[in-house]
Amino acid sequence: MPAPENPYTLKEGKVIKVIKETPDVYTFYIQTEEKPLPGQYNMLYAFGMGEAPITVASAKDGYVVHTVRAVGNVTKHIDRLREGDLLYYRGPYGNRWRIEEAYGGTLLILSGGLGLAATRWIFQEAIEGKHPIKRVVHLYGSKNYESLLYSYLYPDWEKACEFYITLDKPHSAWKGRVGLITDVLKDLKLEENTVVFACGPDPMVKACVKVLEEKGIPQRRVYVSLERHMKCSVGTCGHCMIGPYFVCKDGPIFRHDLIREYFERREV
């Protein structure tokens, strides 16, 4: 029997495509034979600087996709990579979206800001008919026009399902909705069998959960992908703990009723 893989072993992937999403956000297609699951993440590495946990935005045979915002030394280094460069990483880690919970019913996806990267893959699978889901609805909120991600995919998404975008702030080039994602959610008619996948800033997620409760959607049907300060990725350092859970290992996706009492505390 082969020895188990060392979880800290670095792997090497070649950058085969780069898309500039916004002035500080890039999407990278990385050549690899890894086979992650929707919802999982990799630890992307920069020599002499450290690592950053980045969700897998998509994957197919031969490559994975990561969308990275330059907010620190590691991610700023990664955002300077170009086609042909090598990217070092370890993973994949974490759990997956429980898409089977939505079988035969409605799947509602709530994405805020860069959280769209965490929901993109499972959303794509849902609208491509890979799962027996009757209705797919996706609400995406962005703080402004300049921060919109994956705009080149919107036409296909709008044809495939109920896809709504709203901006926090108006812009002269934007003819769509302006306002909070909760405003759109309040006007949405949902079936009792709706299952919700959410990823975005904590205040957005908390506000959306409140609206969902008012609509009769129980917390046990709401799944949230959390972003926390993950360091080891294997549940040993404790930096990412929320209540009794290690976000890096037990998550990053949690059923909301299991974490609500910890999630709503200011300090987590």
Class of domain 99-263: alpha beta
46 closest CA partner among 54, 38, 37 = 54
Q: Is 198 exposed, middle or buried (0-12, 13-18, 19+ CB in 10 A)?
A: buried
Answer yes or no: are the C-beta atoms of 52 and 36 closer than 8 Å.
no
Give pLDDT, residue 268: 45
pLDDT < 70: residue spans in the chain: 1-4, 266-268
150 closest CA partner among 117, 125, 173 = 117
Q: Is 220 helix (H, G, I), strand (E, B) or coil?
A: helix
Give pLDDT, residue 262: 87
Phi/psi of residue 56, nearest 5 degrees: -85, 110
Q: Domain ranges in the chain?
A: 11-93, 99-263
- Separation CA 240–CA 231 (nearest Å): 8
Give pLDDT, residue 267: 47
Q: Is 5 helix (H, G, I), strand (E, B) or coil?
A: coil
168 closest CA partner among 155, 177, 158, 157 = 177
226 closest CA partner among 200, 208, 244 = 200
Q: Count the neighbouring beta carbons within 10 Å of the beta carbon of residue 131.
A: 16
- Separation CA 130–CA 262 (nearest Å): 34
Looking at domain 11-93, its CATH architecture is Beta Barrel (2.40)
